């Protein structure tokens, strides 16, 4: 530590088992062009019919969208993390999504927040890829992502260094 300046590092896990990919691979320009912020995404395994979507980081669950397709957690270091379950799933009006934890709760990484019918997402013609995006946060200096298959959602897949 020099003159009291120490960069904060935040480790994030995959919110469920699946394949971790860079945010650029999300087939939606709002995410792939980082219009909401940097991040990564997880693609559920083909055989998964339901998912427990867990907190990718410990912190305060600040928001669960009315349609339960997305939620935001603020980590202790000030990193705000949006988990957006599937693409265009807001149009499902909450059908197939169950809130497990109310907003305002403290959560730990790996704790299930939303239960979702992935088969229902696929059946509606929507993509179940789930972006995890760093929004409205302290400035992000670096993002180190480990891509590939993740069998358990407790594996750290991303290290974020804050300015």
CA–CA dist 33, 56 (Å, integer): 21
Q: Could you list the active site residues?
A: 84
Q: How many CB atoms lie within 10 A of CB 49?
A: 11
Taking Cα atoms as reference points, which of 83, 90, 30, 43 lies closest to residue 61? 83
Do β-strands 18-22 and 70-75 pair in parallel, antiparallel, or remain unpaired?
Answer: unpaired
Taking Cα atoms as reference points, which of 14, 42, 38, 2 lies closest to residue 139? 38
């Amino acid at each position: 530590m020099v003159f009291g300046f120490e960069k904060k590092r935040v480790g994030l896990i995959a919110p469920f088992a699946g394949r971790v990919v860079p945010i650029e691979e999300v087939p939606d320009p709002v995410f792939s062009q980082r219009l909401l912020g940097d991040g990564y995404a997880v693609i559920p395994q083909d055989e998964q019919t339901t998912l427990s979507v867990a907190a990718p980081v410990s912190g305060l669950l600040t928001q669960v969208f009315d349609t339960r397709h997305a939620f935001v957690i603020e980590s202790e270091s000030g990193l705000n993390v949006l988990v957006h379950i599937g693409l265009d799933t807001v149009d499902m009006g909450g059908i197939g999504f169950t809130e497990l934890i109310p907003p305002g709760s403290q959560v730990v990484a790996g704790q299930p927040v939303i239960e979702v019918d992935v088969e229902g997402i696929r059946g509606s013609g929507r993509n179940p890829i789930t972006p995890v995006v760093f929004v409205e946060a302290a400035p992000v200096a670096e993002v180190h992502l480990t891509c590939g298959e993740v069998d358990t959602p407790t594996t750290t897949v991303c290290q974020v260094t804050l300015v």
